[in-house]
Amino acid sequence: MNIGRRRGRILAFQALCAWDAGASVLDDLLTFSWRNGEDGFSTENSGSGNAYLFSKIMVLGTIENIEEIDRCIQSNLDNWSLERLNSVDRAILRLSAYSLLYQKDIPAPVIIDEAINLAKEFGTDDSYKFVNAVLDSIKKTA
């Protein structure tokens, strides 16, 4: 597992949650100053720098393509609307759908596995099952 990308996904997930809640301006989120130094994770640290860059790419890509991403997710939800999802599941699905649709250099099983890990860590007890099912469906059409 690539630790830099794993950390980058966590940062991107956190930034998307904040963006979705309307709590922060995108430019402020992308400086990651709200996170700097937490758990020894600094933008100054060269190892962490790759995580920040990866995270910025994912956040910007997700937001720039949010309409298509949301349509894709919605078309793979059974008896649910995107608005009804909790913010954690929605952020994980958006981030992962972006990767499945636009980051073809990352294998789909890796993207889905990382999404499941995020859902287990930050979501409800059943989030990982839900996220897995939706992303598996998206993977088949991506």
The pTM score is 0.85
Could you tell me which of 39, 37, 38, 20 has the C-alpha nearest to residue 29?
20
Under a CB-based contact definition with an 8 Å cutoff, are residues 43 and 105 in contact?
no
Under a CB-based contact definition with an 8 Å cutoff, are residues 112 and 96 in contact?
yes
Percent pLDDT > 90 in the chain is 61
pLDDT at 112: 98
CATH class of the region 3-141: mainly alpha
Q: Over the chain, what is the mean pLDDT?
A: 86
pLDDT at 36: 52
Annotated domain spans of the chain: 3-141
Could you tell me which of 54, 118, 52 has the C-alpha nearest to residue 91?
118
pLDDT at 72: 98
Q: Confidence class of residue 57 from pLDDT cuts 50, 70 and 90?
A: very high
Residue with the larger pLDDT of the pair 41 and 101: 101
